[in-house]
Structure 1
């Protein structure tokens, strides 16, 4: 999976790291927030925070998504854990207001917490045949 590939790639560059996947399939920012404290063990140096897509697919208010991510970033900052925030973009069928509000979440929070931002987690993958499962989402 992704974590094995990431760990191997970092190892090949001389980084002795352990990469663990604390994600849950189908998870939302509410679920991620609820389990953050116990799913990120003491000693963790970096978290790749990639949540929000399932919120968007379920039509969760961008305000709720932002609030949950904000709280997660605050907790990680308090624990002095570095973060790479992986952004997502809203599907256009949700309308321009939703899209605008959702798409602003990730750059706004990255700036607020001064964390690294990968603007669109699916960059180079979305819409590419052979890079996604048949459902077009995964």
Structure 2
């Protein structure tokens, strides 16, 4: 092979490599929202649920993402643990984990809730899937002792597993009747839109981790 032919051959290979790298860097990310009714969009059309609203906000900021809604109304941390393997399919780039609200409403032991969430996170980490943890606060009627134990779950897990944490999913919503359904517990479309906007900064930061895992 002549020097010119060899140089041309190398140039073609190099061009192909850079074309592949560019395609990989622009790869769309597939995320899964694993949660309960707050993720599922209780009594709302799917386009108004949190995964869809957060996906639209992220896309408006230039992020090429798809967020699959794996929320199940009424689900507990135990239910999430039992279905995490099939609710989060292979090829998932990241999981937004939001569970525990129904545990608190049912008075489940905070120790059990923490154990379940810990096991969910561990399974996802074993699959090399980054996690964004979304926290919950215990309802006031559960009493101070229960609230103290329950509310500490999410910061402790975030620290243990080095996860980004959105501390309270209903922050800025639960006290505003106009942002809730008639039951006074679940966000309406406007409420979920506000949650998506509030979650945007930490979600964008987390996406940097997700992108690193796809390289």
| Fold-level similarity (TM above 0.5) | yes
SS of corresponding position for 1:19: strand
Whole-Å separation in 2 of the counterparts to 1:3 and 1:99: 28
How much is the aligned-residue C-alpha RMSD, in angstroms?
0.9
1:73 corresponds in structure 2 to 121
Residue 105 (structure 1) aligned with residue 153 (structure 2): yes
Task: Map 1:1-138 to 2 at 5 A.
Answer: 1=48, 2-138=50-186
> Comparing both structures, which one devotes a greater share of its residues to helix?
2
Deviation at residue 117 of structure 1 after TM alignment: 0.3
TM-score normalised over the length of structure 2: 0.63
Gap runs ≥5 in structure 2:
1-47, 187-215
Deviation at residue 120 of structure 1 after TM alignment: 0.5
SS of corresponding position for 2:69: coil
Whole-Å separation in 2 of the counterparts to 1:106 and 1:8: 26
Q: Deviations over 1:6-57 (max 9, x none)?
A: 1111111111111111010010001000000000011111111110000000
Larger radius of gyration: 2
